[in-house]
Amino acid sequence: MKRHKVQWRAAVLLSALLAVASACAFSGSGGETWTDRKESGGNPSISIMTWNMQALFDGTETGGEYDEYREEAGWSSEKYSGRLNGIAEAVGKMESAPDIIAVQEIESVQVLNDLAAVLSKYGYAWSHFAGNSGMSLGLGILSRFPLGTVKIHSISVDGVAAPRPVLEAGVSAEGGEIVLFVCHWKSKLGGEEATEAVRRASARIILRRIRELAEEEPDLPVIVLGDLNENYDEFYRQNGAAISALLPDDPRSADIAGLYESGGEETAQTGELQKDFFIISKDKPPRSRYFPPETVALYSPWFGELENGSYYYKNEWETIDHFLLSGQLFNDSGWEFENSAVVDYPPFTNNSGYPAAYNPRTGSGLSDHLPLLLFLKYRGL
């Protein structure tokens, strides 16, 4: 597979990237190969996009569709095809198609396959879909790189299943494997407090896997990505009144969580280990200053590289779409964090600069979420 060279433009906040893959698999796609760049002294890169696609249903009614995507509301195969073509056109207007696309709110594996088909010139030869039986929408991944180990983690609280599972995928890049946890956590529909337990249950599953992976392969980079339905500053938005699935490294959050460090000496009010919340850090590499050393801390680009938000709700930007990065991406070895960006330009935005939400009646727009981009560069061993 060929690699496409991209330059960062301030207007769109894009960073230099190359699409890594096998040179023979997609000949004619243009750009340099991994081998070309290694021989010329360049550093290969990977670009990853996460995008909530806002209820991407196909044109066949099976009973689980939202009302506006039923035949009686005017939805059709023709509108579905038009929407797919609109997505392909939008991706084609980017500086370069991402190497990996993680998508949320897609109906089925068939929709994921249809996405791969309309984007076929970009060479997404590997894909995986995850969804719960009886649920209208799931999530998936398209990749130019081989997907190694894939696991589907179901989430339940008190015997009740969460709407969507967590998709764990090992991406086998030539510079080394990266593990992605593609997520679409429970929304706040039903109340923030009532639904927080489900989001924390999702965090618990991923935390357990991160610790397992750290024991098996300590140098393995991990990225949690997708729509987490929780802002990076959720704790402050809720006035620090309760534990959220995403907690800042802050004395108040450490105190309410019952775990904190004081004067470099670990103390624990409850004696319990962190089990169902992430500490999101502004440090590179991420670390926990106010929690015990074994606490899992992940870096959030919302502290630095990302601006405004990815979702506009009730006249306010929200930061509910995420990349959360493990410390292995900041140690000057192997795959390293380079940059991140919100795709905040037309046709992803409307004339007012807000997400160009899709309208199933008119067939216009793309999604009520803006995609996020992440750029990694290979530093060598």
Place of tokens 């997907």: 147
Q: Report the alpha-carbon distance of residue 231 to residue 354 in Å, rounded.
A: 18
Domains, the chain, with CATH or none? 46-185+220-230+300-378 (3.60.10.10)
Instruction: Judge whether residue 356 has pLDDT over 70.
Output: yes
For the chain, percent helix, then strand, then coil, each to nearest 5?
A: 20, 30, 50
* Of 20 and 339, the one with more pLDDT: 339
User: Cβ–Cβ contacts within 10 Å for residue 110, how many?
Assistant: 12
Please report the pLDDT score of residue 273 as a whole number.
Answer: 63
Please, which pLDDT band fits residue 10 given cuts at 50, 70 and 90? very low
Evaluate the CA torsion angle 11, 13, 15, 20 in order and state its sign: negative
The tens digit of pLDDT for each residue in 237-292 reads: 989 888 999 999 999 998 888 765 444 444 444 445 678 999 999 999 999 999 88
Alpha carbon distance 156, 265 (integer Å) = 36
Angstrom CA distances, 375 to 190, 346, 371, stand at 35, 21, 13
Point out the least confidently predicted range of 6-20, 61-75, 248-262, 294-308: 6-20
> Across residues 27-53, what is the average pLDDT?
62
The one-letter amino acid at 20: V
Q: What's the pLDDT tens digit per position in 183-239?
A: 999 999 888 888 899 999 999 999 999 999 999 999 999 999 999 999 999 999 989
Separation of alpha carbons 351 and 365, rounded Å: 11
Q: Quick check: 57 pLDDT over 60?
A: yes
30-34, 63-67, 149-153: least confidently modelled range: 30-34
Range 84-93 contact pairs with CB under 8 angstroms and sequence separation of 24 or more: 84/114, 84/115, 84/118, 85/118, 86/347, 86/363, 86/366, 87/53, 87/115, 87/118, 87/119, 87/366, 88/118, 88/119, 89/347, 90/347, 90/348, 90/366, 91/119, 91/122, 93/347
CA distance 342 to 346: 12
User: Which regions of 199-331 does DSSP assign to beta strands (E)?
Assistant: 222-227, 246-248, 259-262, 265-268, 278-281, 297-299, 311-313, 316-318, 321-325
Q: How many residues does the chain have?
A: 381
Among 30-44, 104-118, 232-246, 338-352, name the one with the lowest average pLDDT.
30-44
pLDDT at 259: 62
Identify which of 326, 330, 328, 342 has the alpha carbon closest to the alpha carbon of residue 374: 342
Residue 342, CB half-sphere, CA atoms under 13 Å: how many? 26
First to last CA, the chain: 23
Identify which of 323, 131, 105, 321 has the alpha carbon closest to the alpha carbon of residue 229: 321
Contacts of 41 (CB under 8 A, 6+ apart): none
Q: Work out the pLDDT band at 42, boundaries 50, 70, 90.
A: low
pLDDT of the residue at 242: 86
Per residue in 319-339, pLDDT (tens digit) is: 999 999 999 999 999 999 999
State the DSSP code for 293.
T
Q: How confident is the model at residue 90 (pLDDT cuts 50, 70, 90)?
A: very high
- Residue whose entry in the numeric block shows the structure tokens 């160009």: 356
What would the two tokens of residue 3 be? 């690699």
Other Cβ atoms less than 10 A from the Cβ of 230: the count is 29
160-161 and 246-248 as β-strands: parallel, antiparallel, unpaired?
unpaired
Work out the mean pLDDT of the chain and round it to a whole number.
86
Cβ proximity of 381 and 349 under 8 Å:
no
Token pair of 359, please?
A: 């309208």
Half-sphere exposure of 213 (CA within 13 A, CB side): 24
Location of structure tokens 């023979």: 24
Give every CB contact of residue 212 below 8 A, 6+ residues apart in sequence: none
Percent of the chain exceeding pLDDT 90 equals 72
